[in-house]
């Protein structure tokens, strides 16, 4: 039986590639190497909040997934995030190496609240499997997270490295994700494509990707606003 869908896998990639996210002024400043150390500190705390929530996002998708083969792929991704069972290599801990290098202690990191846009992005991802089903939520992770991380984190890293002499150890979170997440995206895409059998399923996947990308754009709105507030404090 021929599969009939409203969107192709290429169309999902184009949705992320041509999204307004890439023209966000904060990312443009990252690419130009114009960030200040104060802005990097704001960015780091908010990125950590989403990174720490990512395991829960994967688990929420797993909880809605009846497909054992899909569960295995999600579990493999989750195990990578958790350092293959070694918490010293779990991705939140790798990120804390970065925040510590910025003189942000773990207690301060824990007590600093997420910006509203950061919390909204987390909530958006957590809601996707309940709103559109596990396959659409996996599509959002595939195309709007893992699939863009190489480009996104490369640009962010470019903005970070000029603000302080960071050690390779401090930046390992970015190196791991730049190298690893393309592989995660490929595995998820191979899982999704044969299961995308109806117009409705492809429409839901498209909506999930767009909502995830839109929430990430708003995340950077929050970063920019919080950075400007910090800059005004220092200027005063």
How far does the chain reach from its first CA to its final CA, in angstroms? 68
pLDDT digits (tens, 9 = 90+) for 131-165: 999 999 999 999 999 999 999 999 999 999 999 99
| Euclidean distance between CA atoms 160 and 41, whole angstroms | 10
Cβ pair 160, 34 in contact under 8 A = no
The pTM of this model reads 0.93
DSSP state of 198: S
Per-residue pLDDT reduced to its tens digit, 110-128: 999 999 999 999 999 999 9
214 sits in which H/E element = helix 199-235
Cα 20 from Cα 147, distance rounded (Å): 16
Task: Please state, in angstroms and rounded to a whole number, the distance separating the CA atoms of residues 172 and 89.
Answer: 10
Euclidean distance between CA atoms 161 and 50, whole angstroms: 21
Taking the mean position of all CA atoms in its chain, how far away is CA 107? Answer: 23
| Contact in structure between 219 and 46 (CB atoms under 8 Å) | yes
What domains, with CATH codes, occur in the chain? 37-223 (1.20.910.10)
Q: Name the pLDDT band for 7 (thresholds 50, 70, 90).
A: confident
Q: How many CA atoms lie within 13 A of 58 on its CB side?
A: 23
CA torsion, ordered 120, 125, 126, 127, to nearest 10 deg: 90
């Amino acid at each position: 039986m021929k599969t009939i869908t409203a969107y192709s896998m290429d169309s999902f990639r184009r949705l992320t590639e041509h999204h307004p996210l890439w023209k966000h002024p904060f990312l443009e400043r990252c690419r130009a190497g114009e960030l200040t150390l104060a802005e990097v500190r704001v960015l780091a705390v908010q990125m950590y909040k989403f990174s720490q929530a990512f395991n829960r996002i994967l688990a929420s998708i797993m909880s809605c997934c009846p497909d054992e083969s899909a569960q295995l792929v999600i579990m493999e991704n989750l195990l990578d995030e958790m350092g293959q069972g070694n918490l010293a290599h779990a991705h939140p801990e790798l990120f804390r190496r970065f925040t510590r290098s910025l003189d942000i202690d773990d207690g301060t990191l824990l007590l600093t609240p997420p910006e509203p846009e950061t919390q909204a992005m987390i909530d958006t991802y957590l809601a996707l499997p309940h709103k559109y089903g596990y396959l659409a939520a996996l599509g959002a992770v595939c195309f709007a997270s893992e699939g863009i991380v190489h480009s996104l984190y490369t640009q962010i890293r470019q903005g970070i490295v000029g603000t302080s002499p960071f050690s390779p150890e401090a930046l390992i979170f970015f190196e791991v994700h730049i190298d690893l997440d393309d592989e995660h995206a490929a595995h998820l895409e191979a899982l999704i494509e044969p299961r995308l059998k109806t117009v409705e399923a492809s429409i839901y996947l498209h909506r999930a990707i767009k909502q995830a990308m839109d929430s990430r754009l708003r995340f950077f709105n929050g970063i920019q606003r919080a950075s400007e507030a910090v800059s005004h404090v220092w200027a005063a």
